[in-house]
């Protein structure tokens, strides 16, 4: 049974695209490289008087481009990050590589740079020993080009040295081969091809 002082992580049903309150006060511009590690005092909407280890950080990315969607991210303390999203405009009955990239979006999706890979690993499946911090594998679209997902990523963090805040989420044209291809591009990006949509990951206020 959950005790009264524990924080309940949201489920997919909690995802709501209405009344977003995105914190843009920490938007430092294109030259920061996305390398932002904010102290707890700088985070908004997290409550007062709670220990750092028990605080929930919430973030959101609005996906724009040839596809559109919303992705929300939640993390309590140093625990795994929960990622929930809805994306529309994908190719029907298709798979699309989905990753965190190293920079915030400042123009088209090419401005997001390469995969965020601070530990210099090869690209791989989300739970592989060898994988990038933001390797999510594939989004799977239905017959209408619609995808909804709710996953947990133990490598991804919204706080600290390797925070993905002010970096970006990118959806690719082709399936991610999860680093199993026999070429350099597979180990770098999963042969996922061009970029259909992207959005900067930003703090979300309550």
**How many independent structural domains does the chain possess?**
1
| DSSP letter string, 18-70 | SS--B--TT---GGGTT-----GGG--SS-SS--GGGPEEEEEEEEEESSEEE
Pairwise CA distance, residues 121 & 116, whole Å? 10
- Asked if residue 45 is part of any domain, the answer here is no
- Asked if residue 8 is part of any domain, the answer here is no
- Asked if residue 101 is part of any domain, the answer here is yes
Single out the residue of 56, 63, 61 nearest to residue 23, CA to CA: 61
- Asked if residue 150 is part of any domain, the answer here is yes
Which tokens belong to 202?
């930003």
- Asked if residue 148 is part of any domain, the answer here is yes
The model's pLDDT over 149-174, given as tens digits with 9 standing for 90+, comes to: 998 888 889 988 899 999 999 999 99
Which tokens belong to 157?
């963090």
- Asked if residue 29 is part of any domain, the answer here is no
E strand map for the chain: 56-65, 68-76, 81-88, 95-101, 135-140, 146-153, 168-172, 195-200, 202-203
- Asked if residue 14 is part of any domain, the answer here is no
The model's pLDDT over 86-114, given as tens digits with 9 standing for 90+, comes to: 999 999 999 999 999 999 999 999 999 99
Give the torsion sign (CA, 82, 162, 54, 2).
Answer: positive
Residue 135 belongs to domain spanning:
53-203
From the CB of residue 19, how many other CB atoms can be counted at a distance below 10 Å? 5
- Asked if residue 71 is part of any domain, the answer here is yes
Tell me, what's the pLDDT at 54?
A: 63
CATH number for 61: 2.60.40.200
Global confidence as pTM: 0.74
């Amino acid at each position: 049974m959950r005790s009264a002082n524990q924080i309940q992580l949201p489920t997919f049903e909690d995802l709501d695209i209405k009344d977003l309150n995105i914190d843009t006060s920490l938007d430092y511009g294109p030259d920061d490289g996305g390398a932002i590690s904010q102290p707890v005092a700088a985070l908004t909407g997290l409550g007062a008087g709670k220990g750092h280890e028990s605080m929930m950080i919430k973030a959101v990315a609005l996906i724009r481009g040839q596809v559109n969607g919303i992705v929300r991210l939640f993390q309590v303390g140093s625990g795994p990050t929960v990622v929930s999203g809805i994306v529309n405009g994908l190719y029907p009955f298709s798979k699309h590589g989905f990753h965190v990239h190293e920079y915030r979006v400042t123009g088209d999706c090419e401005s997001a740079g390469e995969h965020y890979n601070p530990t210099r690993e090869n690209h791989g499946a989300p739970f592989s020993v060898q994988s990038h911090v933001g390797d999510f594998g594939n989004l799977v679209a239905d017959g209408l080009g619609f995808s909804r997902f709710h996953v947990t990523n133990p490598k991804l963090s919204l706080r600290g040295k390797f925070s993905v805040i002010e970096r970006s989420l990118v959806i690719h044209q082709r399936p991610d081969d999860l680093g199993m291809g026999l070429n350099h591009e597979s180990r770098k990006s999963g042969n996922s091809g061009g970029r259909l949509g992207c959005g900067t990951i930003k703090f979300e206020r309550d």
